[in-house]
């Protein structure tokens, strides 16, 4: 049976020592945030994750959700409902929500730590409140006062849940293809008709009501074609006044590879009553509020799964005795497998990834808090630019890693990792979806290079910060062996980007758009290269703090912690960072190699070749 223990030491290290999150108390809304509060909160959440949610993870996977074709109701796995009640009673559905609507008003960075623990403990469960929080955010930013007063208190208390309804059978990545239509009613509301598929938490038994945020096209002569004609609507399962059943039902739930405890629903809207959120035809803008938060959230799902896989892989490697050490064969008894270099490669690979990701996730979340609440406008703007640039990195890199890390952890278990009883294969199955939803990782790469780097030119601001951090770390005595690989690869990233920007500039002037094709062709290699540099930067930040802490001569476990941190940073620079060479090499290979074969020449044909 797998186990999970929240990594509180590492969380406190990042939150309190590297980031000094208590600094947020300078912002009036966060005056209650201090170190004891943070630590107490972490411990409370850890208890719930370890004792309430984790025990339901394997049973939820086995049991899954069930759909009643007659009543269209969906039942979540045994125990989910009770756990959800406890979750609500602890105020966690409104943890980072506006106190005006009943929320606790805590910073997003602490909510991130909470999400990480819940994703480690039980991803399927965590998705239910996670989606509600996305709906809360979209309504909080774009809803009318009436909508806010109607929906937000119930979403915050957890009595009602939220969903995000974008996908249709013919339309996934390209939302311009949406067919769901909205026809205006005499009372100003809309009748929504269409079928949405793959809707997470679309129907379930955890809450009194479910509020669907639905993308649809208004049937009107002035509705622009494609993506510009999309509007956002709130469509509740039960109408707020009188709670009559709205015309929205769950047609079926999907059988799928993982996250069995979370219902994935086909939702049928048959003239369901809905209300416009934000302006007509500006639905994508409002939906992006939800999607950006959801992308960070999916990144955290990846981090959470990598962490739990790491813990179990490590425990196994510390216990499993197999083979003598490679240099002492014949003279030595078999040892625990953690002693074999290749097992260490797997274990340290996960450890270095997870700790680097945690640092990035918490740092970005802190930037998100600053971008929303700092009284200084310049600070808000700067922080927002970091968040915008790095959101696709968090989504894509963490989730690519989650699939790889959960796979590595299976490898550590040998054949036992393939056997259900050990629980390792569930982590891998659950991880696979994270590369797909909230915009596939390919789309994250396009967003990064096309929008964030080429259009908005956000990279230089980030690289300036990276260089400042490298200089500060050098001053504090951090080894050059940790600084040089980051500086060098940041230079490679800068060179590649500059070249592309120059091509983009001339291409735009001369109306030759082939640079777009090249940017698209390199986008995945680009985000992978940049991710390694960014995580390298995070390792420098952590090594800097650990070096300073060691200078004060701590003893025992605390000393071990900082020393291990610095050694892990060395592992990252020596064994992970070199992967950047492969990505920069592939980028240098250009796009023609991808596009030269005509689409109709891929399939096997019946020729006489080799006859
Ligand atoms: C379990 C599960 C839960 C989900 N939850 C939700 C939910 O709650 N709400 C919701 O609305 N949707 C949800 N989805 C849908 C999910 O977001 C989509 O599946 C995803 O966005 C991809 O769309 P698609 O499956 O139609 O793939 P397609 O868009 O058909 O893409 C197929 C492939 O082509 C690639 N591709 C497409 N266009 C481009 C391009 N321009 N450039 C490069 N590559 C491209 C994609 O990267 C992908 O690899 C869920 C899906 C699943 C499986």
The CA 173 to ligand 1 mean position distance, Å, reads: 5
What separation in Å is there between the alpha carbon of 215 and the centre of ligand 1? 15
Q: Which of 268, 283, 298 is the last residue of a domain?
A: 283
Return the pLDDT at 164.
95
Claim to verify: residue 197 and residue 276 sit in the same structural domain: yes
Q: Note whether 63 and 191 are same-domain residues.
A: no
Indicate if 209 and 241 belong to the same structural domain: yes
Joined tokens for residue 492: 């490679």
Say yes or no: 44 and 98 in one domain: yes
373: in domain: no
The pLDDT score that the predictor gives to residue 329 is 66
- Phi-psi domain of 66 (left: phi exceeds 0; alpha: psi -120 through 50; beta: other): beta
- Quick one: 126 and 252 in the same domain? no
Residue 608 has a pLDDT of 87
* Residue 576 lies inside a defined structural domain of this protein: yes
> Distance (Å, rounded) from C-alpha 346 to C-alpha 239?
52
Question: How far is Cα of residue 566 from the mean position of the Cα atoms in its chain?
Answer: 26
Is there a domain that residue 532 lies in? yes
Same domain, 522 and 457: yes
Range of the domain at 578: 440-592
Separation of alpha carbons 53 and 118, rounded Å:
7
Query: For a substitution probing ligand 1, which of 195, 440, 451, 520 has the most ligand atoms within 8 Å of its CB?
Result: 440
What long-range pairs does 497-504 form, CB within 8 A, spacing at least 24?
A: 497/453, 497/459, 500/449, 500/453, 500/454, 501/453, 501/454, 501/457, 504/454
Is 319 within the bounds of a domain?
Answer: no
Where is the domain boundary, 114, 141, 168?
141
180 shares a domain with 120: no
pLDDT for res 339: 95
What's residue 33's pLDDT? 95
Q: Which residue's alpha carbon is nearest to atom 9 within ligand 1?
A: 199
pLDDT at 515: 87
CA neighbor of 309 nearest in space, from 395, 403, 398, 394? 403
Q: Is residue 316 part of a domain?
A: no
Q: Please give the structure tokens belonging to residue 361.
A: 């996730």
pLDDT tens profile 203-261: 999 999 999 999 999 999 999 999 999 999 999 999 998 889 999 999 999 999 999 99
Same domain, 90 and 210: no
116 domain residue, yes or no: yes
Ligand 1 atom with the smallest distance to the CA of 254 is 1
Q: What is the CATH number of the domain that holds 202?
A: 2.40.110.20
**How do beta strands 209-218 and 230-236 pair?**
antiparallel
Do the Cβ atoms of 447 and 392 come closer than 8 Å? Answer: yes
Same domain, 228 and 90: no
Instruction: Tell me, yes or no, whether 498 lies in a domain.
Output: yes
Burial 157-189 (b: 16+ CB within 10 A, else e): bbebbbbbbbbbeebbeebeebebbbeeeeeeb
Q: Which residues of the chain have pLDDT under 50?
A: none
pLDDT confidence of residue 402 = 98
Distance 442 CA to ligand 1 centre (A): 10
Q: Are residues 81 and 179 in the same domain?
A: no
Catalytic residue ranges: 438
- Report the distance separating Cα 515 and Cα 502, nearest Å: 10
Domain count for the chain: 3
**Residue 122 pLDDT:** 98
- Are 121 and 265 in the same domain? no
Distance CA 36, CA 33 (A): 8
pLDDT tens string 550-569: 999 999 999 999 999 999 99
Name residues contacting ligand 1 (CB within 6 A). 164-167, 172-173, 198-200, 256, 264, 433, 436-437, 439-440, 442-443, 446
Question: Which domain-ending residue is among 283, 306, 334?
Answer: 283
In a domain, 152, yes or no: no
Query: Do 127 and 186 sit in the same domain of this protein?
Result: no
């Amino acid at each position: 049976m797998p186990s999970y223990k929240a990594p509180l030491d590492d969380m406190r290290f990042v939150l309190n020592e590297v980031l000094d999150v208590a600094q947020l108390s300078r912002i009036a809304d966060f005056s209650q945030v201090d170190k004891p509060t943070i630590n107490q909160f972490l411990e409370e959440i850890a208890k719930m994750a370890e004792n309430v949610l984790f025990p339901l993870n394997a049973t939820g996977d086995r049991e899954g959700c069930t759909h009643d074709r007659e009543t269209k109701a969906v039942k979540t796995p045994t125990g989910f409902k009770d756990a959800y009640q406890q979750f609500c009673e602890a105020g966690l559905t409104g943890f980072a929500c506006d106190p005006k609507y009943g929320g606790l008003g805590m910073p997003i960075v602490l909510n991130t730590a909470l999400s990480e623990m819940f994703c480690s403990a039980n991803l399927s469960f965590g998705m239910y409140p996670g989606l509600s929080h996305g709906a809360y955010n979209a309504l909080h930013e774009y809803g009318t006062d009436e909508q806010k007063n109607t929906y937000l208190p119930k979403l915050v208390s957890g009595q009602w849940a939220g969903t995000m309804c974008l996908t249709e059978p013919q339309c996934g990545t390209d939302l311009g293809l949406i067919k769901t239509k909205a026809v205006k009613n005499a009372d100003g509301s809309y009748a929504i008709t269409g079928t949405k598929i793959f809707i997470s938490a679309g129907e379930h038994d955890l809450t009194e009501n479910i509020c669907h945020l639905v993308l649809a096209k208004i049937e009107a002569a002035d509705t622009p074609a494609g993506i510009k004609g999309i509007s956002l609507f709130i469509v509740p399962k039960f109408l707020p006044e009188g709670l009559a059943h709205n015309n929205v039902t769950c047609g079926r739930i999907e059988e799928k590879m993982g996250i069995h405890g979370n219902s994935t629903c086909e939702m049928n809207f048959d003239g369901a009553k809905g209300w416009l959120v934000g302006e007509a035809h500006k639905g994508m803008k409002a939906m992006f509020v939800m999607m950006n938060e959801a992308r960070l959230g999916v990144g955290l799902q990846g981090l959470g799964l990598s962490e739990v896989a790491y813990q179990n892989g490590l425990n196994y490697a510390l216990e499993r005795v197999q083979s003598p050490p490679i240099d002492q064969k014949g003279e030595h008894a078999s040892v625990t497998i953690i002693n074999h270099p290749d097992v260490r490669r797997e274990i340290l690979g996960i450890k270095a990834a997870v700790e680097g990701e945690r640092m990035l996730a918490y740092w970005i979340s802190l930037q998100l808090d600053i971008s929303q609440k700092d009284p200084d406008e310049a600070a808000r703007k700067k922080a927002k630019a970091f968040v915008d640039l790095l959101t696709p990195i968090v989504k894509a890199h963490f989730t690519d890693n989650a699939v790889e890390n959960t796979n590595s952890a299976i490898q550590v278990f040998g054949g036992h990792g393939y056997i259900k009883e050990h629980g390792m294969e569930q982590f891998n199955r659950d991880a696979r979806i994270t590369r797909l939803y909230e915009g596939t990782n390919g789309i994250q790469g396009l967003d990064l290079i096309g929008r964030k780097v080429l259009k908005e030119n956000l990279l230089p601001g980030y690289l300036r910060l990276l260089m400042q951090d490298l200089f500060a770390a050098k001053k504090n005595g951090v080894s050059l062996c940790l600084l040089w690989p980051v500086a060098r690869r940041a230079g490679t990233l800068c060179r590649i980007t500059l070249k592309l920007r120059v091509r983009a500039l001339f291409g735009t002037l001369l109306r030759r758009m082939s640079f777009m094709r090249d940017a698209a062709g390199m986008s995945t290699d680009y985000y992978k290269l940049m991710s390694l540099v960014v995580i390298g930067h995070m390792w420098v930040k952590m090594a800097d703090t650990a070096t300073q802490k060691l200078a004060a001569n701590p003893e025992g476990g605390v000393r071990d912690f900082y020393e291990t941190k610095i050694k892990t940073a060395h592992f990252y620079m020596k064994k992970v960072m070199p992967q950047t060479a492969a990505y920069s090499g592939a980028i240098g290979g250009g796009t023609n190699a991808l596009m030269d074969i005509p689409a109709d020449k891929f399939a096997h044909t019946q020729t006489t070749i080799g006859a």
